[in-house]
A and B are shown apart, each in its own frame.
Chain A
Amino acid sequence: MQDTVWFLSVFDTVHWVEWPDENESVLYMQRSGETIVVSALSIAILELLKAKPCNIVEFFSELSQCMDESVEEQALMLAIRSNLTQLQQIGAIDNDTNFITIHNSVVSPAV
């Protein structure tokens, strides 16, 4: 899990809208049409992935700088994992292990 690299989905395009001082944003998946409310942390994750693919250590390193000091390391790590899972479930992001698995399953019948 530590080495897993996350990136924005190549199968869909993610759009979102956020508002200053509000902890909830709305995310829209252009291909599936799914529209959901996500946390500000999810948007921060997406912003990082827009710049480059990241593993969880990189997420933690970047996001901990934005948090106030009262946020415990373990709690932040759990929150990041939970948001990554949610974003993956709606098809907004993917990771290299999952991508390889999907990719292999798609090409295997032809081999």
Chain B
Amino acid sequence: MTLISSLSTTQLYRQLSNNGLTIEIGPFSIHACSTIESLTEHFKLMYSDYRVVTEPFADFHINLKRPNGFRHLLYPQVIFYSDIEKPFKPLPLNQTNPFFEWGLNWCIATMAHQYLIIHAAVVAKGQNALLLPGHPGAGKSTLCAALIHRGWRLLSDEMALIDPLTCSVTPVPRPVSIKNASIDVIKGFAPEAVFGPVIKDTHKGTVTHIKAPESSTQQKTDKAIIRWVVFPEYHSGSMLEISRPNHAQVFMDLVGQTFNFGTLGLTAFQTLENIVNQTDIMKFRYSVLEEAIDWFDTFQP
């Protein structure tokens, strides 16, 4: 078994820039190819604990390329390819690493329909998963980044992969994306975390990534059962508030956060029914991260 960490930077760059490199991320094999040096650094820093796959099959084929032509000399850019498709407009070259992560999110959300995919962070204590769904800015990634440095296991920062008709979540531990003011908050909360470079002026503002803890990547095949669903809402200056919304409201909120509800149809409806009926559901408003994490620490499996 070869881990990324066993490759030198030169070897890694050669593989990525020649035929590409396939790595195992959760249940997926991702074949990545790029001559852009910063992606090598991103892999070396964020994916050092991930296994290199030698089998020829890959679920997703990603290529990050500089565009052709003279314009590139004035405005260096990067294009994301999924197979031969270009689903996005080019981005500035310095956003190559977040572009890889955002593009991979897109690949999973649009193609992995063997799962019900909910836009949510997921962490676990033992085999008990905590689902943190929420719209952008709700604070789910900040909470997720903090919780995984307080002993919770990372299953996903961005999307919950749920086995249909069950409450079982398949882990896909990847770097946690945090942005703007949350970056300094997490640097203060978990100085031991491994941070990637800070990229400014992206469409999400200033972003960076935190490496997934090694213990989480090692448990990549250990599924967890959703036990708690907490809808976080960061609200500056607010006290810690917990409420229990009615089930119909929760159900509709989850429908709104599900990427492939329409694709899975009745299966999606029945899966959400199971989740809503079998888990402890709360809405949660917070402003002070330490207080919030102390509250989550009271959750007992």
- A22 vs B249: C-alpha distance in the bound complex, in angstroms? 11
B262 closest partner in A (C-beta): A33
Q: Would A24 and B249 be within 8 Å (CB), given that A17-B273, A35-B255 are in contact?
A: yes
Q: How many residues of B are in contact with the other chain, CB < 8 A?
A: 16
The yes or no answer to A25 lying at the interface (CB within 8 A) is yes
A38 closest partner in B (C-beta): B248
The yes or no answer to B73 lying at the interface (CB within 8 A) is no
- Contact between A37 and B248 (Cβ–Cβ < 8 Å)? yes
Contacts of A26 in B (CB 8 A): 248, 251-252
- A22 vs B251: C-alpha distance in the bound complex, in angstroms? 13
Shortest distance from the beta carbon of B189 to any chain A beta carbon, whole Å? 37
Q: How many residues of A are in contact with the other chain, CB < 8 A?
A: 12
A-B Cβ contacts below 8 A, count: 37
Shortest distance from the beta carbon of B128 to any chain A beta carbon, whole Å? 23
- Contact between A22 and B269 (Cβ–Cβ < 8 Å)? no
- Contact between B269 and A28 (Cβ–Cβ < 8 Å)? yes
The yes or no answer to B1 lying at the interface (CB within 8 A) is no
The yes or no answer to A15 lying at the interface (CB within 8 A) is yes
- A25 vs B246: C-alpha distance in the bound complex, in angstroms? 10
Map CB proximity to A onto B231-274 as digits: 1 under 8 Å, 0 otherwise.
00000000000000011110110010000011001100110010
- A69 vs B257: C-alpha distance in the bound complex, in angstroms? 41
- A16 vs B100: C-alpha distance in the bound complex, in angstroms? 40
Contacts of A33 in B (CB 8 A): 261-262, 265
Contacts of B252 in A (CB 8 A): 26, 35, 37
- Contact between A28 and B248 (Cβ–Cβ < 8 Å)? no
Q: Could you name 16 residue pairs across A and B whose Cβ atoms are closer than 8 Å?
A: A15-B266, A15-B269, A17-B251, A17-B277, A19-B248, A24-B246, A24-B248, A26-B248, A26-B252, A30-B265, A30-B266, A33-B261, A33-B262, A33-B265, A35-B261, A37-B249
| A interface with B by C-beta (< 8 Å) | 15, 17, 19, 22, 24-26, 28, 30, 33, 35, 37
| B interface with A by C-beta (< 8 Å) | 246-249, 251-252, 255, 261-262, 265-266, 269-270, 273, 276-277
